[in-house]
Structure 1
Amino acid sequence: MSNTGQRLQDEGSRLQVVTAGAVAGLISRFVIAPLDVVKIRLQLQSHSLSDPLSQVDLRGSPIYKGTLRTLKHIVENEGVTGLWKGNVPAELMYVSYAAIQFTMYRSTTMFLHRAFGPSHDGAGSRLPKAAESFISGATAGATATATTYPLDLLRTRFAAQGNDRVYTSLARAVREIHRDEGARGFFRGLAPGLAQIVPFMGLFFAIYEGTRQPLSELRLPFGSGDATAGMVASIVAKTGVFPLDLVRKRIQVQGPTRSRYVHKNIPEYAPGTLRTIRQILRREGIRGLYRGLTVSLFKAAPASAVTMWTYERALNFLISYDGVEKEKETGA
Structure 2
Amino acid sequence: MNHNTPLPQVPSASPRPVRHLSDVQRRVTTAAQLRSQGVAPAEANEQCRSGGPWQQLLPGVYLLHPGPPTSEERLHAVLMYAAREGAAPGVPVQPGSGEPHRPVYKEAMITGLAALNLHGLSCAPPLLSLEHIDVLVPRLRRLRSTGCAHVVRTTSLPTPERATGVPVAPVPRALADAVAQLTDAGMVRRLLSEAVRGGHCEPAAVVRELNDAKLLSRPHVVDAVDSLLAEGRALAEDRLYTMVVEHGLPDPVWNVDLRLPGGPHLGGLDAYWPEQAVAVELDTRAPRQDEDALWSEYARKREHFERLGITVVHITPKKLRDSIEQQAAVVRTALMAAGDRDPAAYVVVLPR
After TM superposition, the score normalised by the length of structure 1 is: 0.22
Higher strand residue share: 2
Structure with more of its chain in helix, by fraction: 1
Larger relative contact order, structure 1 or 2 (CA cutoff 8 Å, min sep 6): 1
